[in-house]
Amino acid sequence: MNFEFEGNLKKLKAVWYENNEVVMIDQRMLPEKVEFYRAKNSQDIAYSIKEMVVRGAPAIGIAAAWGLAMAKSNHEDMDAATKLIGSTRPTAFDLFKAIKFMISNNFTVEAARRYSQEITNRCRKIGEYGDNLIPHKAKILTHCNAGALAVTEWGTALAPIRIAAHNGKDIFVFVDETRPRLQGSKLTAWELQNEGISHAVIADNAAGHFMHTKQVDLAIVGADRITASGDFANKIGTYEKAVVAHENDVPFFVAAPASTFDFSLNSGDDIPIEERGEEEVLSIAGKRIAPEKSRAMNPAFDVTPAKYVTAFITEYGIFKPNELKSLKSMIQKDMFMRED
């Protein structure tokens, strides 16, 4: 992805491997500062995923893949490393996909490189397919950050938006700020600004208003896990936006590579939902907002039933929820993605 650094536009990945370290943009610092976190062992990788130095389902998978390769070349106990990294965050399926892939490929650096490149290339294809869904002058709603920061480049939900903009379509993005962690306001707005794509940050509460008043042409979000039925988990608030989009006939698209599809589950009710700390809700930017004794509840994800999804944008093309069987058979024929 592009980013502006001391007045110059630079190319940057969200996660990469260098000198036996996994290097990542420390996403907790954005948009204020571009700082890098260097993971030197599996503990660092677990910390970086759990504390959201790196976040976004595909990027979590990529960080895990590189992390396991690094652990192996450090002669770590691989059972322990695998278990530790696998216990960081329960919802994003890419994490488990990446771990499985690395186990099947003996944790080699070459396998991690392949995993990272595959996922990145697949996201570019998501962008190309998704671009076809974006008319000239489209106004697009997105939630959370499913951008380059959530993959390494391109993004999932932001890949079609990037490519539509690069193809000269005059588009505008409504960026849900995405409380509690504000990934929209901090990360998506940062990516769009660096790419020169027109956007406005909105309170999550305002998304419904803009849909109801016909200011939104389509919505595109990412996913953390998609089941065989098309029910999917994504950042908390996605469910509300999908219901309101459906009510207002706003097409609602979910962009994700094969690594996010968990065909072992049918119903979204079976996806484990991570609960995060109360402080994310009760305080903002280190400042307590709520009264001292008030408590909070903080589910990090919600589940959106398939009936609210217009289509899934994947590297194999566009699939309606009732077409996921054919996606499944394509994935089973895919040397890289199939489950052996």
| Residue 282 near a second copy by CB under 8 A | yes
Q: Residue from 51, 284, 323, 330 that binds a second copy (CB under 8 A)?
A: 284
Residue 61 CB, nearest approach to a second copy (Å): 24
Of 12-20, 38-46, 90-98, 277-285: span binding a second copy (CB under 8 A): 277-285
Map residue 299 onto helix, strand or coil: strand
The contact mask relative to a second copy for 122-161 (x = CB under 8 A, - = no) is ----------------------------------------
The contact mask relative to a second copy for 215-254 (x = CB under 8 A, - = no) is --------------------xxx-xxx-xx--x-------
In Å, what is the CA distance from 24 to each residue of 45, 69, 151, 185, 251? 10, 15, 11, 20, 34
Q: Residue from 11, 33, 75, 295 that binds a second copy (CB under 8 A)?
A: 295
Q: Residue from 110, 203, 270, 329 that binds a second copy (CB under 8 A)?
A: 203
For residue 137, count other CB atoms closer than 10 A to its CB.
10
Residue 164 or 303: the one with the smaller Cβ distance to a second copy is 303
Residue 135 or 196: the one with the smaller Cβ distance to a second copy is 196
Is omega for the bond preceding 31 within 30 degrees of 0, making it cis?
yes
The contact mask relative to a second copy for 39-78 (x = CB under 8 A, - = no) is ----------------------------------------
Q: Residue from 92, 303, 327, 331 that binds a second copy (CB under 8 A)?
A: 303
Residue 33 CB, nearest approach to a second copy (Å): 12
For 79-97, b where at least 16 C-beta lie within 10 A, e where not — what string?
eebbebbbebbbbbbbbbb
User: Residue 21: what are its φ and ψ, rounded to 5°?
Assistant: -125, 150
| Residue 299 near a second copy by CB under 8 A | yes
Q: Residue from 29, 109, 296, 330 that binds a second copy (CB under 8 A)?
A: 296
Residue 249 CB, nearest approach to a second copy (Å): 13
The contact mask relative to a second copy for 155-184 (x = CB under 8 A, - = no) is -------------------xx-xxxx-x--
Question: In 6-130, at which residue ranges do the beta strands (DSSP E only) sit?
Answer: 8-11, 15-18, 21-25, 36-39
Residue 241 CB, nearest approach to a second copy (Å): 8
Q: Rounded distance, CA 10 to CA 218, Å?
A: 30
Task: List Cβ neighbours of 268 (8 Å cut-off, separation of 6 or more).
Answer: 227, 229, 231, 232, 233, 303, 304, 305, 306
Catalytic residues: 224
Query: What does the DSSP assignment read for 225-268?
Result: EEETTS-EEEETTHHHHHHHHHHTT--EEEE--GGGEETT--SG
> If 0-12 CB within 10 Å is exposed, 13-18 middle and 19+ buried, where does residue 41 land?
middle
> If 0-12 CB within 10 Å is exposed, 13-18 middle and 19+ buried, where does residue 53 land?
buried
Residue 116 or 185: the one with the smaller Cβ distance to a second copy is 185
Residue 206 CB, nearest approach to a second copy (Å): 5
Of 46-54, 56-64, 205-213, 256-264: span binding a second copy (CB under 8 A): 205-213
In Å, what is the CA distance from 187 to each residue of 29, 67, 205, 274? 10, 23, 19, 21
Q: Rounded distance, CA 35 to CA 209, Å?
A: 36
Interface ranges with a second copy (CB under 8 A) = 31, 174-175, 177-180, 182, 185-186, 189-190, 192-193, 199-210, 212, 235-237, 239-241, 243-244, 247, 281-282, 284-285, 287, 289-299, 302-303
